[in-house]
């Protein structure tokens, strides 16, 4: 090597090395916080100099105090018990979005489904001895058109109407943390509550966040975690709904946890798992549940009407084997190194 040339290059190389080290030192670390909320686990990974755990849990506590039917002092509990029908800002936001999606899905999404969910043993009260007479009697006070928001108050046609936001509250909680992070100037984060997510910017690997979709295997204890596919996502909300883990047997028959508000019975459609990507997690959460109720053919129609959402379905074919269907917009999220 030409020694003179090397001497000229050496200071430049040293400058480059020192500069790179200083840049890496200045980069803020990624932090992970986790805990319990809404009867499930939350996990947040974000890039920040300072821990925001207290602010995160304060925000989640506010959502719990508004939307959790398990919280005896929450806004939704007071509405359900008819002790106070005033809706706070969170209940107002969620109710308005739920009403919109109920209209879009012809009632497949319905936050008045609580009495039926409880009756089947999947809600916040104990299961009842269920039969067709019980279902028919309950359907009198189930239906999203039987409740409305007027002047900041929830108005029911029947005092027995009960609200259940469980199919949208986790997604809404994720969105609230995302808004907190945005206010704090956090540019890179992943927020998850019970499988509902918002992802923004880069992961610690300096790439889009990689999120797996599990194979729909009967596994009520969630021990089996085989992946169907992996998505690479940034700047979006994502939610997955499935019946393959949450079910119970009664008189030799398996009942799925998704209840069709229009019939009063657990769904028997061919979709095993419904994953939705949208601008926000609450919307993704609600549509993921709606598609489980609607079935594949009707879900495709909704997706075609709403190009702003993308979906990935795992479903059972007529021959009993499983297959997948996904919208055209979902292709950009699919990891090319994984079989679909």
Q: What does the pLDDT look like over 152-162, one tens digit per residue?
A: 999 999 999 99
How many Å apart are CA 211 and CA 47, to the nearest integer?
18
Q: What does the pLDDT look like over 59-115, one tens digit per residue?
A: 999 999 999 998 999 999 999 999 999 999 999 999 999 999 999 999 999 999 988
Alpha carbons within 13 angstroms on the beta-carbon side of residue 114 total 22
The closest of 312, 317, 318, 320 to 340, measured between CA atoms, is 312
- Residue by residue, pLDDT tens for the chain (340 residues) are 455 554 556 656 555 664 544 444 457 899 999 999 888 899 999 999 999 999 999 999 999 999 999 899 999 999 999 999 999 999 999 999 999 999 999 999 999 998 888 787 765 555 556 778 888 888 999 999 999 999 999 999 999 999 999 999 999 999 999 999 999 999 999 999 999 999 999 999 999 999 999 887 655 444 556 888 999 999 999 999 986 554 444 554 444 568 899 999 888 778 889 999 999 999 999 999 999 999 999 999 999 999 999 999 998 888 888 899 999 999 999 975 555 4
Residue ranges covered by each domain of the chain: 201-333
Please give the biggest Cα pair distance in the chain.
95
Q: Helix crossing, 281-294 with 296-305: angle to 10°?
A: 140
Which residues fall within 8 angstroms of residue 34, CB to CB, at 6 or more apart?
41, 42, 43, 44
How many Å apart are CA 326 and CA 14, to the nearest integer?
51
Dihedral sign of CA atoms 170, 66, 104, 271 in order: positive
Which CATH architecture best describes the domain 201-333?
Roll (3.10)
How many Å apart are CA 178 and CA 25, to the nearest integer?
26
Which strands form 236-242's sheet, in the order they lie side by side? Answer: 30-37, 40-47, 189-193, 196-200, 236-242, 271-278, 310-316, 322-326
The pLDDT of residue 85: 96
CB distance 218 to 244 below 8 Å: yes
């Amino acid at each position: 090597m030409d020694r003179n040339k090397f001497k000229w290059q050496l200071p430049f190389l040293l400058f480059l090395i020192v500069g790179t080290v200083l840049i890496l030192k200045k980069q803020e670390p990624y932090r992970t916080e986790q805990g319990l909320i809404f009867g499930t686990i939350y996990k947040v990974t974000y890039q920040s100099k300072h821990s925001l755990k207290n602010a995160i849990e304060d925000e989640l506590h506010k959502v719990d105090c508004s939307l959790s039917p398990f919280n005896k002092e929450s806004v939704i509990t007071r509405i359900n018990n008819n002790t106070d029908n005033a809706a706070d800002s969170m209940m107002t936001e969620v109710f308005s979005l739920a009403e919109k999606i109920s209209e879009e899905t012809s009632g497949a999404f319905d936050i008045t489904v609580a009495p039926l969910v409880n009756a089947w043993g999947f809600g916040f009260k104990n299961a009842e001895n269920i039969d067709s007479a019980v279902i028919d009697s309950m359907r009198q006070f189930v239906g999203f058109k039987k409740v409305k928001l007027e002047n900041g108050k929830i108005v029911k046609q029947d005092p027995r109407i009960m609200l259940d936001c469980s199919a949208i509250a986790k997604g809404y909680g994720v969105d609230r943390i995302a808004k907190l992070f945005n206010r704090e100037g956090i540019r890179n984060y992943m927020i998850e509550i019970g499988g509902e997510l918002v992802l923004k910017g880069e992961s610690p690997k300096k790439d889009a966040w990689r999120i797996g979709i599990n194979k729909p295997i009967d596994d009520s204890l969630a021990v089996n975690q085989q992946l169907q596919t992996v998505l690479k996502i940034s700047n979006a909300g994502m939610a997955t709904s499935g019946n393959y883990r949450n079910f119970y047997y009664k008189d030799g028959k398996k009942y799925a946890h998704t209840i069709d508000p229009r019939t009063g019975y657990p769904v028997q459609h061919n979709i095993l798992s419904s994953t939705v990507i949208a601008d926000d997690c609450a919307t993704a959460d609600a549509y993921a549940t709606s598609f489980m109720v609607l079935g594949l053919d009707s879900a495709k129609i909704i997706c075609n009407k709403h190009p702003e959402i993308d979906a990935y379905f795992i479903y059972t074919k007529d021959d009993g084997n499983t297959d997948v269907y996904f919208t055209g917009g979902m292709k950009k999220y699919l990891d090319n190194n994984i079989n679909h």
